[in-house]
Amino acid sequence: MKSLASVVLLCLGCRLTSSFVLEPPHMWSKLILTHHWPSTFCSMEHCHSKFDYWTLHGLWPDKGQECNSSLHFNETLIQDLLPEMQKWWPDLKIPESSRFWKYEWQKHGTCAAKAESLNSQHKYFGKALELYHKLDLDGVMKKCNIVPSETYYTEGKMQILGQIEICFNSDFQLDDCEHSETDTVNLNVKGAGFSVCDHATPVYYPPLKVYYPPLKGKLSV
């Protein structure tokens, strides 16, 4: 595979750069493998994450959303993938739940399924996991000494790194991530919380906040 020459970083705290455009669900030409940084996500959603690595958010075609309502999510079709998905593609708000996978399949997977290579739940989720492991975003960032830290950009104007997009063509080769004006998958939707990072503003990469759950019962002394 080519090097990661074209990725899109998405942050909190910078202006929206484009608007959401809705198009008819034509055949897609590009896939966007999207990663979540759990610490940033949970700072927005008021959850407590135990994950200290980049997790999968989704595999999104660049055309269409909710393309086929007859393709219902069925967890039994991906039983062999569940251990991997629970670890690498968790619902960060409710880790033991499958609702996030159902949402991703209905919104994005049913559109990806227009291609024969992704025309089943197993193919879709399996390919997303394959690309995620092949890229090893977490390992690449650590190798380049890009690591979370409390010491960088803790004062003054900043933006918070929360999501990274890496794009592929229909042959699952790395592709340019630049958005066109007609892309239907656009992370700069109002209310989504993220927008493309402003290269002129410092980016804060927050570490995981350690969470200690409350003790149940009474302590004996």
**Known active-site residue 104:** yes
Backbone angles phi, psi at 5, to 5 degrees: -80, -25
Backbone region of residue 66 per phi and psi (left: phi > 0; alpha: psi in -120 to 50; beta: other values): left
Name the catalytic one among 57, 72, 116, 150: 57
SS3 125: helix
- Single out the residue of 24, 22, 113 nearest to residue 61, CA to CA: 113
Percent of residues in the chain assigned helix, strand, coil, to nearest 5: 30, 15, 55
At position 140, the amino acid (one-letter code) is: V
Biggest CA–CA distance in the chain, Å, is 67
- Check if the beta carbon of residue 148 is closer than 8 Å to that of residue 208: yes
Q: Distance (Å, rounded) from C-alpha 57 to C-alpha 171?
A: 21
Q: Among residues 36, 45, 46, 104, which one is catalytic?
A: 104
The answer to whether residue 179 is catalytic is: no
Please confirm, yes or no, whether 116 is among the known catalytic residues: no
Distance CA 119, CA 159 (A): 38
For 25, the token pair is 């669900």
Contact 95, 38 (CB under 8 A): no
- Catalytic amino acids? 57, 104, 108
